Amino acid sequence: MRRRTASRSASLCGNEVIALKNFIKGMGIGICIGIPLLLAVLFGLKAAGVFPSLPQNDAAQAETDGKTPEDGADADGDADPDAAATDGSADPDGSGSDDGASDPDGSDAEISKDPEAAAQADPDTILAFAGDVMFSEQYLAAYDQSGVSALADAEMLSRMQEADLFLLNEEFPFSLRGEPMADKQFTFRTDPKYVRIFQELGADIVTVANNHSLDFGRDAFCDTLDALDSAGIARAGGGFDLAEASSPVVRTVNGQTFAVFGATRVSPSYDWYATDSQAGIFQTYDPARLNAAIGEARKTSDHVIVFVHWGIERNETPEEYQRTLAQGYIDAGADLVVGCHPHVLQGFEYYKGAPIIYSLGNYLFGNRTGDTLLLEADYTDGGAPAIRLVPCRRVDGVLSRIGDPSALYEKLTQLSYGVTVNEDGTLSAQ
């Protein structure tokens, strides 16, 4: 009886040993298969972003973005002493608590930039300026027969039409009304239908602040304002009241805002000036109002331009008051001053980095010929413009570019104040 029990016990022990061996074997297989599966699941979850990455220490961060926290360098590599206070690039505790975001490679600023948009954000902006314009009967007859090509050749037309803004001095009224001013030697006017010539030339802004705008009276002047308005051409320096006449034309081009004033220092009569209740032109004999308006415009505009009528006819040298006025405009906030009226070209000057063009002379003015300029102001960097001259003259009645302007450039250099006209027509301070 005892032997059978012992034998049974031995049998049971044997079974338990076998079971234990099977259990251990199963566990081994499970571990071999389960651990890789578990690791695969964990890595998948990490890749999916379920588990956050551990923050890098300051030294590793500095190595990844190529700068040390104390450099204070901005995203473009330029020194920026205020960077620690403004963009959180210096973060002593490594918490990035100002915006709760981590930027392990320091590349957020670059990723947010669109290279194509950045390239287009500040392209060249060209403003073209022409001097005195007055259409004689011969001009109009040629235009009626052959169109605008009778006034300017293809290259000059292209430069006027393709400028971002083209500005000129309109030295006549568009009207069929009124009587010529008594005792005035020269009086001009043109049928309003010919405002289309301005449109075909590409004119965007004209100044009407000059000594011929009211040659045929106030009604004719108001007809001029209406004709320009109907043609979609902005006018500076004149209006239906003083507030309008003294306000700048404001245009935004390629992200840059330009405020353009027109004003005159030449007038046959005080009665020509705009008042609170009278249409007329804006005068700058006393520059106080214009200077104040320049200062106000500067607060909201990137660039302020003064297109001014001044000087003595036929004099190639500006009057001292022209230099004083120009410097006052620039002190008030202008970064370009362009002058007309003498009917001849005068020289150039820079004051506080801003160019002064004392006289552009006649551009398309009656039957008068002679050397003239289309002036191109190139705005590229937010500051004062670079100036380029396009020398031209009328040949058989058609405005054409001068082939060899070297003599003209030499003369203009001699007439200027510390300015050289280079071979390519650009200006540089001596």
Place of tokens 């300015």: 419
Q: What is the pLDDT of residue 31?
A: 53
Which residues in the chain come in under a pLDDT of 50? 1-20, 40-43, 45-121
Confidence at residue 65, expressed as pLDDT on a 0 to 100 scale: 32
Distance of CA 368 to the CA centre of its chain: 35
Per the listing, tokens 């009967």 go with 137
User: Where does 163-216 have alpha helices with state H?
Assistant: 195-201
Tokens representing 98 are: 């100002």
Query: Residue 85: its pLDDT value, please?
Result: 30
The one-letter code for the residue type at 127 is L
User: SS3 of 58, please?
Assistant: helix
**186: which residues sit within 8 A by CB, 6+ positions away?**
212
Q: What is the length of the chain?
A: 430
168: tokens are 């000129």
- Distance CA(25)–CA(19), nearest Å, equals 10
Contacts of 253 (CB under 8 A, 6+ apart): 125, 164, 165
Task: Work out whether the CA dihedral 225, 229, 230, 233 comes out positive or negative.
Answer: positive
Tokens linked to 226: 């209406």
**Joined tokens for residue 272:** 């020509």
CB atoms inside a 10 Å sphere around CB 418: 12
Q: The tokens of 194 are what?
A: 């010919």
What six digits make up the tokens of 306? 């003064």
Only one residue has tokens 């566990």, namely 27
